[in-house]
Structure 1
Amino acid sequence: MYLTHFSEETHRNLLDHIPQCTGREVGDWLRTLSDGPSLLRFDERVSWLRGEHALSYGHAKALVHEFDLRRARRNLG
């Protein structure tokens, strides 16, 4: 479980800047997470993104959080 939480505003700001900082859209990164290894823990997925794709901690964390939010919405819908 991750200990540091971003506010909703910080989360949105990080997501908004990902295309400028990485050259890839958020949707591309979410597909990368979906197609990546089956890591269950949040911090493992953040570490994988950081190590495999050289993302900053903040961007990796925001992407994993967004991935989890969207997956939860799909499961509830």
Structure 2
Amino acid sequence: MQDNNTRDARDIQQRLEGLEIKASFMEDLLDQLNLTIYRQQELIDRLTHEVIQLRQQAPEGGSNGPRNLRDELPPHY
């Protein structure tokens, strides 16, 4: 009977260690994902700021209408 209890205790210990290892890997993965999301948000913020600046620099009149591709041909045509 005691041999059975010892085996059960070892099984429980091994399962607990396995869960601790998995939890450790999951914590590391979560940290990596959080860092990735943080960096992506920084990039989104920077790009949004650049788009706002470009819109402010763009001329107001005439650029919103349809463009004629012939106006964009090089002069030698």
* TM-score normalized by the length of structure 1: 0.29
Q: Relative contact order: is structure 1 or structure 2 higher (C-alpha 8 Å, sep ≥ 6)?
A: 1
Question: Who wins on radius of gyration, i.e. which is larger?
Answer: 2
